[in-house]
Structure 1
Amino acid sequence: MKAESLFFGGVALFFAGAAALYGWWAREPAGSAVLVVAFLMAALISFFTAIQYRRKGRRPQDRTDAEVADAAGPVEFFPPGSPWPVVTAFGFAVAALGVVYGLWLFLVGCALLARGVTGFVFQYVHRGEGPGD
């Protein structure tokens, strides 16, 4: 993931430079804010991939001398079914309606959205610890 980290680091530097130039030249806050957010998103992805590279090392895809069989095996755990995507989507929809209809509905939607995201994150937190896992 070193290549991905360097790539997104370059993208982040581009957006940082573009934000600085745009902010100095145009003096328009909305465009500057969008460019800063783009910089932060690219920097986050670069940081994540750099940490994964440090934790897991080089992947077979990163080596030029690797064989196809080096990447064989289970890719990752994919859950069979989950109610949390529906809860998360419903929470987002209610929060979006709350922006239009009122703060109380927005807060209810945020609570549903938070519950859905928490369910996603902690759904399989104990996977592999007990019998039958």
Structure 2
Amino acid sequence: MKAEALLFAGVAGFFLVTDAFYTSWAREPAGTAALTVSFAMASVVSFFCLVNYRRRGARPEDRTDGKVADRAGPLDFFPPHSAYPVLTAAGAGLTALGIVFGLWLFLPAVGVLLAGVLGMTFQFNRRPG
């Protein structure tokens, strides 16, 4: 993460210098705001990467002696068949149609979309007791 922190610090520095020149030369608020926000976002990413590097140390891919097996572990949890992605897609499509055709279709479509999203979110939630 140290390399990424330095990379984004360089990007943030570029946006800071560009912002200073743009502000003094153009005197246009929209571009100045966009460059300032770009500087801030690159700084946040750089800070995040630096904090993670200091907290966790070097990753196996950052070391010259690192091997692929050092990073290996469980891949992820792959859920079995579920109807919720289809319900979410139908809800998104109906919501888009509801924006075009009116509130009478939009409100029930948001309910279908919400049911699909909440179903996918809590489908494998294990609650005690």
Question: Does the pair score TM above 0.5?
Answer: yes
Counterpart for residue 16 of structure 1: 16
Residues paired across the two proteins, number: 108
Counterpart for residue 113 of structure 2: none
**Does 2:72 align with 1:72?**
yes
* Deviation beyond 2 Å, 4+ runs, structure 1: 77-83
Displacement after TM superposition at 1:79 (Å): 7.9
- Measured in 1, the distance between the counterparts of 2:27 and 2:37 equals 17
- Measured in 2, the distance between the counterparts of 1:26 and 1:68 equals 50
Query: What does the per-residue CA deviation read over 1:25-48, in whole Å, with 9 as the maximum and x for residues that have no partner?
Result: 111111000000111111111011
**Does 2:55 align with 1:55?**
yes
Query: What does the per-residue CA deviation read over 1:47-87, in whole Å, with 9 as the maximum and x for residues that have no partner?
Result: 11111111111000101111121111135x6685899xx6x
Counterpart for residue 37 of structure 2: 37
Normalised TM-score (structure 2): 0.60
Matched residue type, 1:71: R
Query: Highest CA radius of gyration, 1 or 2?
Result: 2
- Measured in 2, the distance between the counterparts of 1:20 and 1:64 equals 39
Cα distance change of structure 1 residues 79 and 40 upon mapping to structure 2, 3 Å threshold: farther
Normalised TM-score (structure 1): 0.59
- Measured in 2, the distance between the counterparts of 1:69 and 1:56 equals 18
Contact 2:5–2:45 (8 Å) recurs in 1: yes
Structure 2, unmatched stretches of 5+, are: 100-117
